[in-house]
Each structure stands twice: as structure tokens, then as C-alpha cells.
Structure 1
Amino acid sequence: MGERQRKLHGIMICVPYQGHLNPFVDLALKLASNGIVITFVHLEFLHRKLCQTHHANKTDVDLFSEARELGLDIRFTTMTDPFPLEFDRDANFNEYWETMVRDFPPLVNEFVGKILASDRDNMLHFLVADTVYTWPAAVARKYNLVNVSLWTQSALVYCLGYHWDLLQQNGHFPCNDEVDEEIKYIPGIESINTKDLIAYLRQSQCESVISRASRLQFEQGKMADFVLQNTVEELEPRALSALNNYLPNYAIGPLNFSQDLPTNTVTTSLWSKSDCTNWLGSKPPGSVLYVSFGSFVHTNMQVLEELAYGLLLSQVNFVWVIRQGILGDGATSVLSAEFQDAVKERGLIIGWCDQVETLSNPAVGGFLTHSGWNSTLESMWCGVPMICYPIGFDQPCSSKLVVSDWKIGVHLCEGGTLHRENVAHKIQSFMNGGDLERLKQNAERVRKIMKNAVETDGSSKTNFDRFLKDLEAKIRAQN
């Protein structure tokens, strides 16, 4: 087979959480839509969870069977992690990631080697791995693979992680939890308050497994051949421009709204969805506050109670997603029957839903969010202003972008403990106050920027096409 006829083959391995799985699947579909062969690797426990949710416990389900019927060459396989299927990875988060950092890389190494050895078509292989992993550079180097890193958070967070050494030199890693000052020396970041830093840069978390793994991941990430950013060039121009000085960096987001993406071909939700359409249809336009803390973060009963009674006191209509496991202890009944009776006319409490479908509903006028990056992008795409209550990880940075940079949201509280009266006041003023019109105008402006980015001549589409060209040139030169 001639060199030009050899097909490109991407081996894709993502971090096993909803917020990482969604953009990874979208990227797989985009790559395959451009003629690239994809092997999508799922961890077995995550695949079993998806099967239990959607396929009545069948475990031989191929997530990409519909995509292949559309002519896309996506192979699907699973691999093990270091734990048995029954191990509760969410409830034992620290133990899980301590072991993943130590024991998962040899498993990946062996697995990738088997995939390459089984190639009968003499394809040109490359690796697409989540930036959060600490092993891609070593695996890519061992097998002479071009190393593509997909970053599923904001470019602002990538800038902070990339310049970990600068933060350390200036005394901001570890950052004292009580310090309140502006940081103005990070390339690509005009100014950021210490209160808005990634949670794992703080003194209280600097010895956590996530803090240690994150430092390692950014060091390894500097060895990537390409970094794909699930953001939009026009929304984070300074950060992306600065990063371009250090590595081949492509803003191709929001991935799940790409125009060339085949729709409804892969089921990725880890929970069964409730349909809110009829309930929302009974409410006036813009009158409903959608409340969700996303797919992963845990909180405590005190926060949920203050939020619950804040919603009750506010008299605002709301849809509240309380997923199973949000307290981190397996509890399934979170809110009292008394509370649910008190709000049954104007409050809908569900376990999960199609978030984009809900945010797109005309009845929804705002989103009280934990500021996860996927949730933030989806709210922006739908033009819905946000009340931000970041809980951890990268969420303070996303909240900072929403409130300070783009001015499409407000903070639920400025740190400290939640109080129901303050929650009620914030919700009332947000949904009914004079600032809402300004927030809506700004949200509509941001929505148009995002829509334009994925159009044929938009920045994200142009950047993705440039990435494909650069990727092919790099792979063929390397082989």
C-alpha cells in the first residue's frame, strides 16, 4: 500500500467521567467524519454503568454501532483499570486516583501495544488522550505515536497549570486559603484573584492526589504534539494566544455543537433522563430557574438544605436536578417530603435530564450551576445567564470567566457559608431584578460568538481543519 493510501488511525482514551466522556465522544465522531479510523477505548466499569442505564444490563453493547451505520469507521473496545468492577470509584475517589496514577500506566502501555500489534491494514497510528492523564507522553514515545492531548476545561485553567512554576516562585502555590490578592504575572491572564484559582492550587489541597497528579499532568502535557482546547478563540483570546507561544494549540469548541457532528449516534448519559418538557410548558417564558450541580461533584446536606429553603423562600419556579450520589454516601432520598410538598406547584425535582434540551426551553430564564466547564458552555450556547456556585476543581475559574470577563452571570455568594435568606434574595434579584436584561443581552452576544465559531468559516471550524492538516503532515513525516 502506498504511503498516501495508508489510513490514519486514532486510539482514544478518556478519563472515566461524564464531563470528559461527552467531549471525547464528540471528538471521535468529528475525526471519523473526516475519514480517520478511530478505536475508542472505554474503561470496563464505565461501560457497564452505561449499559445498566440504557440497555437492561446487557454488556455487549457497542456504543458506536449507529455511527458505523452512517459510514464512520469507529471501532469500540474496553479495557480494565486496576480495580474490580464492583469497587465504588466515586465514594473512594482519593484511593482510586492514587492507584490510577501508579498502576494504570502499565495497563495502558500493554493495551496500546496489543492494538498496534493487531493492525492488519498497516495504518498510521496516533494517540488521543485526556490531558488529565499522566502517562500519554511515555506511551506515545514508546510506540512512536503522535501525541494529541484533549483539554476539557477552559484555556484559563490550562494557562494556570502550564505556569505552575511561576505560581510557586511567586508564593501562590501552595496558595494560602485566606489570601485575597490579584495575580498579574501569568502569561495570557490579565488578572485573576487568588480566590478564583483552581481549587488544587490552595494550601488546604496541595497534598491531595489531585494536586500532585495535576502538576505531573501539566509537565507531561508540555510534551504533547498537539493540544485541542474545548473553548472558543474569541472568548479566551489572550490565554490561547499566550499558549500558542509554547505548544501547537487549537481552540475547536464547543465540541458538542459542531456542525459536522452526526447527531444522536451515541448514548453517553450515565443516568436515566427525565423529560421536563410538559412541566416547563405549563410555565411562563423565562420564569424557571434550572438548578444542577452536574455529573460529578459532591456536596453536603447543609448546602442542599439552605439551597432548598432558599428556593422555597424565593417563590421562583425551578427545575432541580439532584443526581444519585450527590452527597457522596449513596443516599437516594435527599430532600424531605415536607419540602417537596411545599414546592410541588412550582418546583420539579428530578434525578437527571437532557441539559441542553432543558436550557433551550423558552420557560428557562436562568441556570444555578456549579460552574463545570460543560455546563458553562451549554448555558452559553443556549443564551442562558448563570448564578455561579463553584464547588471545587476548575470551577472557580469558570465562574470568574462567567461573572467578571463575559458578564453573563452572578455569584451565588462571595465565599463563606450559604444562608437560605441570602440564597432567596439572590435568586429573586437575579430572576426578577433590573440586571437580568443586561445579563441576557450579554448572554445573547456570547451565544452568537459561539454559533459563529462552529460555522463553515468560523474560528473553531477553521482551527479544526488546520489541526487535521497539521496532524496528517506530522504523522506522515514521523512514519
Structure 2
Amino acid sequence: MGEEVDATAAAAADGGSKPHAVVVTYPLQGHVNPAVHLALRLAARGFAVTFVSTESVHEQTARALGVADPSGYDVFAAARATAAKGGGGGETVAAAMDVRYEVVSDGLPVGFDRSLNHDDFMGSLLHAFGAHVEALLCRVVVDAAATFLVADTFFVWPATLSKKLGIPYVSFWTEPALIFNLYYHINLLTEHGHFRCNEPRKDTITYVPGVEAIEPGELMSYLQDTDTTTVVHRIIFRAFEEARGADYVVCNTVEELEPSTIAALRRERPFYAVGPILPAGFARSAVATSMWAESDCSRWLAAQPPRSVLYVSFGSYAHVTRRELHEIARGVLASGARFLWVMRPDIVSSDDPDPLPDGFAAAAAADGRGVVVPWCCQVEVLAHPAVAAFLTHCGWNSILESAWAGVPMLCFPLLTDQFTNRRLVVREWRAGVAVGDRGAVDAGEVRAKIEGVMRGEEGEVLREQVGKMRATLHAAVAPGGSSRRGFDELVDELKRRCGGGGGRH
């Protein structure tokens, strides 16, 4: 986001012989979004890009758009057309954007319910997906000297495959640098008894490089578990063994937000903070990435007073229990706030399509103060002047988008990095407040927190703090900003290393 590239220079890069980036995205919505926009950034800077998604993500994205024949659908077609006309901005400014789109099996049938069968899905990513990617790489990597692999850090095969093919591996980390750092030093947590033991220590963790202090309850959920034999734990262990073999790490964060952590990681390997990676213009992306059909909320929002709406969304992946959902719903109603609530179809489970309390929708609709939709374009909603606060699960994309728009957060983490992300938002940046705790939330607390943020003095303080965070993000991607410089350095390094080849097929 914010990459203003000279189109002529980009098109003429390397005399027409382009280095080739193969970008493989992790098949979850929160990973697909930044991967797509990183690919567009690379293309705008003169790289030939092959973007690789899974058949399942492709089918779900096409269905969300109502595409009649997903087999012939190319998600980059609209962005390519916009660039060809010389339109767009930021990522799509290159006059002849060279992005090719490939899909590959994740090892499961397309119609398999990955939400309902999470462990089977993760097991396939652990055991089967790598072979399918290897077969595709053998086809698309025509000139190894001109090619590099950009793969999500959570994959368990990138360093191994890149070494086999003789190409550099860029590990793409879609979460804060702090999370990467804690996983990277999982051996220290184990040695000191804070992880991989029956009764982990409860004292403050002070020995991780670049982290002054963190409480055990602020670690990612998988590092708080005593059972470390699950499929997700096996993925994490393998993925960070592979990450140690990365030539470069690219992180969707901003150096000013995490300076000591990033400095520590740079002592380990080349680490580039290039965030926030957001759609050009902080608007609906030219590349359709949504895996659910988006409702148009603009008319309803336009009818609401400025800074009067609570936006509620718990993201694309984690689930809430029915009990948690009911407590939050009662608290939202009791607060009296206007609200727009995104209720993902499988938010509790894909076999529980209507999990809200009886009468909730009717009560919300009775006076027109609330609306519930299955999905929406989140950046458009957060950018709307009617939105005053965001009740969020603390997914990293959501945090960056909320901060970019200057919207304070009510933080209700559910899973994985979200607990550590909440620590950053609430304790370090003071841009939000905590709501509930693991498995414990009640309507009274929800109501009180909403009232405090929406109408109280606390809300004014939060808005001031998130305004500072917003300024930091905007400055980072502006000319001369830290993320702009980081991306420039990455581009120069990759062109130096891979710029001498002859492109691809």
C-alpha cells in the first residue's frame, strides 16, 4: 500500500528480462490477502510473478463472486486490465503487470469441509501439500538463476524445496515480528520451562532476545498448550526449522511499532519490515480475495451519524462458542450502540448456521440500529466516518486495517497469535481495550467496555492513541518511510541476486 512506482521504470526494469517471483500463499483468508498485495507490489516493481493458490481457495473465491465457471477464472484479470489501461494506483501502476495465476491441490477434494474438519485439513498441509507444490515448481521454474520462492512461513517445505531447486527462499511472515520471534526462540521457552512441559512456569518471560518481558498468558495459544503433539504444533515445529533456512524474511509489520524485536531478528538473518500490506488506496482490492460473498453495507452506514457505529467481526478462521456469542450479543444490545456485525457462516460451526440468540436479529432491526451480514469489505467499513470502534478477534490484518483507519479496538482474542496481538494493541500501543479472557466473557463486561469506548472519556484517549498509530503506519509507507525503504532494499537485493536470468516460459 502506498507504493507509488514509476511505471516506465518498472516496465523497463532489467532491460525487459525480469527476475521471477513464485509466490505461494497459505490457504487461509488472513494469509491470502497480504500475499496477493505483496505479489502486486513485486509486479509493480518489474518482477514477473507466478502466484500460487489452492484449488479450494480458488473455488471458494470464485463462488463468492458468483462466477459460473471457476475453472477459467483468473483472480488477477481485473488488476491486469486496470494496469494495462494505466489506471489504478500503488500496487497496480506497472504498465504491463506480469502476474500469472496457478492453482494446486492441497491434497483434499475441493468440496471437503475444511472448517468442520480442521485437523484433517492441517494434516493434509503437513503431509501432502508439499508434493503438489514441488510438482508445480518443477514446471514453472524454468530459469533457476532468475527465480526466487516467496512462501508463507507456516509451510513445512520451503527451505527444503528451494534448496533442491537451487533458488532463494523468501519467508513471508503475515503476523507481527513479535510472534515470529517467539516461535523462532521456541527452544529457549522449552529450556526455561515455559513450554513443552506438563506444568509450565507462570513467571514473567525475560530471556527472549528483543522482548523485554512477556507474561505466559500473553503467548500465542499454541505456546500455552500442554499437549504439544497436535497437528498444528507439528506444523509450527517443522515450519520454524524451515524458517531457519530462509535466505530472507519479509514481515507485514512496521519497524516503529516493534523496533527492539526487529533489531534482534536482524541479528539472526536478513529481516525486512514492509507493512502494512493493504489494498491500494485502502479500498476494495482490484484482486478478488474474499472467500465469502460480500454484502454492500454502504447505504446503511451512510444513514448513520458520524462515529456512532460499532463494527463487530471475528475474522475468517477462528471459531467462537455459542455461549460466548450469546454473551457478546446480549452485551452489544444492552450497550445501546448502533452496530454492524459480520457473522461468518461457520463462526460457531459450518453445521450451525444460525447461532445468534433467539430474537436478536428482530431486536436489532426493530429500531434500525443494528444489521448483521455474512461478510463485507472490511477496509471499506473501517474507512467509513460512521464507524467509531471495532470489536475484533485481534487478527493481525484486522489490527493493521483498524489502525490505518484510526479506529480504536475492543479486543476479544480467540486463537493462536491473537492473544499476543492483544498485548501489543492494549499494553504497548494503548490503541484498544481488552474484553474477556480465554473462554470467559459476560454480557455485562461487554456492555461496559462498549459504552466506555463509544461514549466515554476512555474512548477519547484511545482515539488519540490510535491516531498516533495511524500516523506511524501512513508515514512508514510514504516516500522515505521505513517500510518503503525496507521494500526498496528487498527489491534491490532480489534483483541483484536473480536479475541475471532470462525470465520464464
Match for residue 84 of structure 1 among 97, 109, 112: 109
Q: 1:177 to 1:316 in 2, by over 3 A?
A: farther
Name the counterpart of 2:488. 465
- In 2: Cα distance, 1:57 partner to 1:267 partner: 15
Match for residue 21 of structure 1 among 32, 56, 64: 32
Name the counterpart of 1:166. 188
> Do the aligned residues in 1 keep the contact of 2:67 with 2:73 (CA within 8 Å)?
no
Q: Which has the higher contact order (CA 8 A, sep 6+)?
A: 2
Name the counterpart of 1:256. 278
Match for residue 76 of structure 2 among 54, 61, 64: 64
Alpha-carbon distance, 1:147 to partner = 0.6
Q: 1:8 to 1:100 in 2, by over 3 A?
A: same
Mapping for residues 319-334 of structure 1, pairs under 5 Å: 319-334=340-355
Q: Structure 1: which amino acid aligns with 2:222?
A: Y
Q: Structure 1: which amino acid aligns with 2:440?
A: T
> Do the aligned residues in 2 keep the contact of 1:175 with 1:194 (CA within 8 Å)?
no
User: 1:363-420, CA deviations, whole angstroms, 9 ceiling, x for partnerless residues?
Assistant: 1111100000000100010011101010011001110000000000010124452111
> Do the aligned residues in 2 keep the contact of 1:380 with 1:447 (CA within 8 Å)?
yes
Name the counterpart of 1:220. 242
Structure 1 unpaired stretches of 5+:
none
Alpha-carbon distance, 1:329 to partner = 3.3
Q: Structure 2: which amino acid aligns with 1:243?
A: L
Match for residue 225 of structure 2 among 203, 208, 214: 203
Q: Structure 2: which amino acid aligns with 1:50?
A: T
Mapping for residues 1-80 of structure 1, pairs under 5 Å: 6-59=17-70, 60-69=72-81, 70=83, 71-80=96-105
Would you say 1:246 and 2:276 are equivalent positions?
no
> Do the aligned residues in 2 keep the contact of 1:176 with 1:203 (CA within 8 Å)?
no
TM, length-normalised to structure 1 = 0.94
Q: Structure 1: which amino acid aligns with 2:245?
A: M
- In 1: Cα distance, 2:347 partner to 2:473 partner: 31
Q: Structure 1: which amino acid aligns with 2:386?
A: A
Alpha-carbon distance, 1:208 to partner = 1.7
- In 1: Cα distance, 2:452 partner to 2:287 partner: 40
- In 2: Cα distance, 1:319 partner to 1:474 partner: 48
Match for residue 147 of structure 2 among 117, 122, 125: 125
Name the counterpart of 2:385. 362
Q: 1:101 to 1:405 in 2, by over 3 A?
A: same
Comparing 170-179 with 185-194, greater Cα deviation is found at 170-179
SS of match in other structure, 1:254: coil
SS of match in other structure, 1:78: strand
Q: 1:177 to 1:395 in 2, by over 3 A?
A: farther
- In 1: Cα distance, 2:285 partner to 2:324 partner: 35
- In 2: Cα distance, 1:308 partner to 1:177 partner: 35
Name the counterpart of 1:152. 174
User: 1:118-144, CA deviations, whole angstroms, 9 ceiling, x for partnerless residues?
Assistant: x6xx97111111101010001100110
Q: 1:388 to 1:78 in 2, by over 3 A?
A: same
SS of match in other structure, 2:359: helix
Name the counterpart of 2:92. none
Q: Structure 1: which amino acid aligns with 2:345?
A: Q
- In 1: Cα distance, 2:16 partner to 2:145 partner: 9
Q: 1:466 to 1:219 in 2, by over 3 A?
A: same
Alpha-carbon distance, 1:17 to partner = 1.0
User: 1:68-110, CA deviations, whole angstroms, 9 ceiling, x for partnerless residues?
Assistant: 3322011111111211112111211111212221122222112
Name the counterpart of 1:97. 122
Would you say 1:307 and 2:328 are equivalent positions?
yes
SS of match in other structure, 1:440: helix
Match for residue 291 of structure 1 among 300, 312, 333: 312
Comparing 87-96 with 390-399, greater Cα deviation is found at 87-96
SS of match in other structure, 1:133: coil
Alpha-carbon distance, 1:180 to partner = 4.1
- In 2: Cα distance, 1:391 partner to 1:416 partner: 8
> Do the aligned residues in 2 keep the contact of 1:134 with 1:217 (CA within 8 Å)?
yes
Alpha-carbon distance, 1:262 to partner = 11
Q: 1:477 to 1:172 in 2, by over 3 A?
A: farther
User: 1:255-299, CA deviations, whole angstroms, 9 ceiling, x for partnerless residues?
Assistant: 11567x997421111111112222222222222111100111111
> Do the aligned residues in 1 keep the contact of 2:145 with 2:167 (CA within 8 Å)?
no
Would you say 1:282 and 2:303 are equivalent positions?
yes
- In 2: Cα distance, 1:257 partner to 1:448 partner: 18
> Do the aligned residues in 1 keep the contact of 2:156 with 2:242 (CA within 8 Å)?
yes
> Do the aligned residues in 1 keep the contact of 2:19 with 2:500 (CA within 8 Å)?
no
Q: 1:464 to 1:384 in 2, by over 3 A?
A: same
- In 2: Cα distance, 1:322 partner to 1:454 partner: 32
Would you say 1:378 and 2:408 are equivalent positions?
no
Q: 1:175 to 1:463 in 2, by over 3 A?
A: farther
Alpha-carbon distance, 1:40 to partner = 0.9
Q: Structure 1: which amino acid aligns with 2:205?
A: I
> Do the aligned residues in 2 keep the contact of 1:52 with 1:58 (CA within 8 Å)?
no
Q: Structure 2: which amino acid aligns with 1:198?
A: M
Mapping for residues 98-117 of structure 1, pairs under 5 Å: 98-117=123-142
Alpha-carbon distance, 1:428 to partner = 1.5
> Do the aligned residues in 1 keep the contact of 2:76 with 2:99 (CA within 8 Å)?
yes
- In 1: Cα distance, 2:429 partner to 2:492 partner: 32
Q: Structure 2: which amino acid aligns with 1:208?
A: T
- In 2: Cα distance, 1:337 partner to 1:4 partner: 64
Q: Structure 1: which amino acid aligns with 2:419?
A: P
Mapping for residues 164-203 of structure 1, pairs under 5 Å: 164-174=186-196, 180-203=202-225
- In 1: Cα distance, 2:401 partner to 2:199 partner: 30
Structure 2 unpaired stretches of 5+:
1-13, 84-95
SS of match in other structure, 2:311: strand
Name the counterpart of 1:475. 498
Alpha-carbon distance, 1:477 to partner = 8.3
Q: 1:476 to 1:65 in 2, by over 3 A?
A: closer
Alpha-carbon distance, 1:439 to partner = 0.6
- In 2: Cα distance, 1:123 partner to 1:266 partner: 29
Name the counterpart of 2:286. 265
TM, length-normalised to structure 2 = 0.89
Alpha-carbon distance, 1:207 to partner = 2.0
SS of match in other structure, 2:138: helix
